Structure 1
Amino acid sequence: MKIYTQNNGKLLEVGEKQFKLEREIQNLFEANLDSLMGLTFVKSEFTIKNKRIDTLAFDSQTNAFVIIEVKRDKNLSVVDQGFTYLSLMLENKADFIVEYNESLKANLKRDDVDWTQTRVAFVSTAFTENQVQATNFKDIAIELWEVKQYNNNLIVVVPVKKTNSATSIKPVMQQSQALKKVSEEIKVYTEDDLLANSSEEMRELYFRFRDAILNLSDDIEVVPKKLYIAFKKVGNIACIDIKKSLIRIFIGAKIGSLDDAKGLAKDVSNIGHWGTGDYEITVTNDKDLEYIMSLIKQLV
């Protein structure tokens, strides 16, 4: 990616600056986990069973642990290494709970964690084409994040997105007993999973709202969760809960911060609900689509 500065209409390219040490990348992410990935930092250099995890984090939106690894060897299989870490966590759940509680002075219980949503994120200045292709499955619990540093103190962080043609990893996982064991505990949800029990009418309505949200910005990502579908930049800007006869849209803004002239959004800040944000809108058609997009756009 090329970065430019503008001076009186003339573009000047900003030179890329290499990270001197991989630890620089790790420190950068650990100090900015919330703003970069929407995660809570738990522990650096967490060691368990003679294996060292670069960074242990927690996703409060899914109530799940996230292992973050700075990629050192471009020839190493990210899939093999990723599933090794997933297996390590699932076999040593108590150790992760203890580390969380000791590091954050908290009282997290095993049942508070949704272990099915555990995932691994690899961070590197660049991934090979083979590494990207190896993780191009719509239901794999492995993420790739690229980071680059430029002159003028500029940092660019980009998650590597799955392609629209990404298939399921399930057939591959059945070929290995180790992968199969992990697959029985880890569940990466897809849009099809969340749409399975909806009517055809609600399915079509969902895709109209989905496409409209994605058109608000090029860097919005669709992230299906267990109970809703999130639309994410860093944090969730909106979440959609699909029912048989209606759709509930949760806007990821704190109460009092949304400019809602029509008063369409309901205050759910003191009501338990799926999705994130303090505002809820229930829709059965798309007559208010344009106005709802104007509300969501305030978070983009």
Structure 2
Amino acid sequence: MVLRVFRRSGGSATELAGAAVPLERDLQAYVERNMQMLLGVLFLDTEVRTGPLHGGRIDTLGLDEDGSPVIVEYKRTRDQNVINQALFYLAWLRDHHDAFEALVARSLGPEAVAEVDWSSPRIICIAADYSRYDVHAIGEMHRRIDLVRYRMFGEDLLALELVASVAGNAARSGSGALTVARPTAEQRLAGTAQAVRALYDELDGRLLDFGDVHSVQLKQYTAYRRGPNFASVKVQVGSLLVYLRLDPATVGLEEGFTRNVRGIGHHGTGDLEVRITSPAALARAAPLLRAAYEAVA
């Protein structure tokens, strides 16, 4: 599907012609300056040298809202090598946790290192376009990969379109063997009551049924993403805690059900905590789940 942009003028519409940037470096510099706004990723460093073994430079390194390391690679036009190049650098990142964490400490402070989650590193590729083969290929790679298409409209409009996104489910160990890279929902639910397991399954289905959503199993919780996270689900012994990307001031808080956790440390992204202990509580939470999903449109 081609992204079309129109300028409204009175009752008429004029289509703006999209174009690629003249220089790849211009795109990279602009994204890096605005990375948190555009991608929901904290910028760490640019043009990171990978040493003599890998012999290259990673365009951008960052840290996303879940604490996952992020590699961002750019191509001014369509280029199949952007995915292969990013995977090549992912191998370097997997073998250099210490170098990445040192970078986090320098950029964000030593305390931020404890929040780095190595269970599911991400790749974000930004290019002018992708082929159907690119979209199919990332589904076979078992990595967290986002393909983002960009277009420039005039001098001041940049459009970013998520073409494909794969949650991934495994990573390779240093020996090359395929290993599970992060805990599964089953592992988190082990030992919990059957009622909680049933609630999780129902909640998971409701969140995914919204449409353009995928879930990512992280070390402490499951994130539900539509670009950025809109919900994070943490399993407890007798309940589920859901953190939603909603302003708590816009919600009528109810003790034991909803809580403002802005400024309170917690696993998961979002300032509104919803405690789900029963099917009735899940039904009451449904409008809040929908509101959080729509808020990140």
State whether residues 258 and 295 of structure 1, in contact with CA within 8 Å, keep that contact through their aligned partners in structure 2: no
Partner of 2:17: 15
State whether residues 119 and 141 of structure 1, in contact with CA within 8 Å, keep that contact through their aligned partners in structure 2: yes
State whether residues 3 and 14 of structure 1, in contact with CA within 8 Å, keep that contact through their aligned partners in structure 2: yes
TM-score relative to the length of structure 2? 0.76
Partner of 2:269: 276
Closer/same/farther in 2, CA of residues 276 and 111 from structure 1, 3 Å limit: closer
1:90 aligns with 2:94: yes
Amino acid at match of 1:54: D
State whether residues 253 and 259 of structure 2, in contact with CA within 8 Å, keep that contact through their aligned partners in structure 1: no
Of 109-118 and 18-27, deviating more is 109-118
Closer/same/farther in 2, CA of residues 11 and 168 from structure 1, 3 Å limit: same
1: CA distance, partners of 2:72 / 2:23: 17
Residue 26 of structure 1: how far off its partner (Å): 0.9
Q: 1:187 aligns with which of 166, 181, 192?
A: 181
Amino acid at match of 1:205: L
Secondary structure at 1:94 match in 2: helix
Closer/same/farther in 2, CA of residues 65 and 2 from structure 1, 3 Å limit: same
Secondary structure at 1:68 match in 2: strand
Partner of 2:63: 58
1: CA distance, partners of 2:287 / 2:27: 36
Residue by residue, what CA displacement relative to the aligned partner does 1:236-259 show, whole Å, maximum 9, x if unpaired? 3221123565322122346x5332
Secondary structure at 2:215 match in 1: strand
Q: 2:239 aligns with which of 243, 246, 250?
A: 246
Secondary structure at 1:13 match in 2: strand
Query: For structure 1, which runs of at least 5 residues remain unmatched after alignment?
Result: none
Partner of 2:121: 118
Residue 30 of structure 1: how far off its partner (Å): 0.6
Q: 1:132 aligns with which of 121, 132, 135?
A: 135
Partner of 1:224: 217
Closer/same/farther in 2, CA of residues 4 and 289 from structure 1, 3 Å limit: farther
State whether residues 66 and 268 of structure 2, in contact with CA within 8 Å, keep that contact through their aligned partners in structure 1: no
Equivalent residue runs for 1:15-34 within 5 Å: 15-34=17-36
State whether residues 24 and 74 of structure 2, in contact with CA within 8 Å, keep that contact through their aligned partners in structure 1: yes
Residue by residue, what CA displacement relative to the aligned partner does 1:132-191 show, whole Å, maximum 9, x if unpaired? 11111484133322222223733221223348xx99677xx6xxx97825x54x725666
State whether residues 139 and 190 of structure 1, in contact with CA within 8 Å, keep that contact through their aligned partners in structure 2: no
Aligned-pair Cα RMSD in Å: 3.6
2: CA distance, partners of 1:268 / 1:156: 33
Query: For structure 2, which runs of at least 5 residues remain unmatched after alignment?
Result: none
Q: 1:205 aligns with which of 175, 178, 199?
A: 199
Instruction: Give the number of equivalent residue pairs.
Output: 286
Amino acid at match of 2:273: E
Instruction: Calculate percent identity across the aligned residue pairs.
Output: 23
TM-score relative to the length of structure 1? 0.76
State whether residues 105 and 113 of structure 2, in contact with CA within 8 Å, keep that contact through their aligned partners in structure 1: no
1:81 aligns with 2:85: yes
Closer/same/farther in 2, CA of residues 212 and 105 from structure 1, 3 Å limit: closer
Secondary structure at 1:280 match in 2: strand
Closer/same/farther in 2, CA of residues 84 and 205 from structure 1, 3 Å limit: same
Closer/same/farther in 2, CA of residues 270 and 96 from structure 1, 3 Å limit: closer
State whether residues 276 and 282 of structure 2, in contact with CA within 8 Å, keep that contact through their aligned partners in structure 1: no
Of 197-206 and 150-159, deviating more is 197-206
Residue by residue, what CA displacement relative to the aligned partner does 1:63-101 show, whole Å, maximum 9, x if unpaired? 3321111136724272x4333212212323333233333
1:146 aligns with 2:149: yes
State whether residues 50 and 57 of structure 2, in contact with CA within 8 Å, keep that contact through their aligned partners in structure 1: yes
Amino acid at match of 1:132: V
Closer/same/farther in 2, CA of residues 260 and 221 from structure 1, 3 Å limit: farther
Closer/same/farther in 2, CA of residues 29 and 16 from structure 1, 3 Å limit: same
Amino acid at match of 1:13: E
Secondary structure at 2:149 match in 1: strand
2: CA distance, partners of 1:159 / 1:284: 35
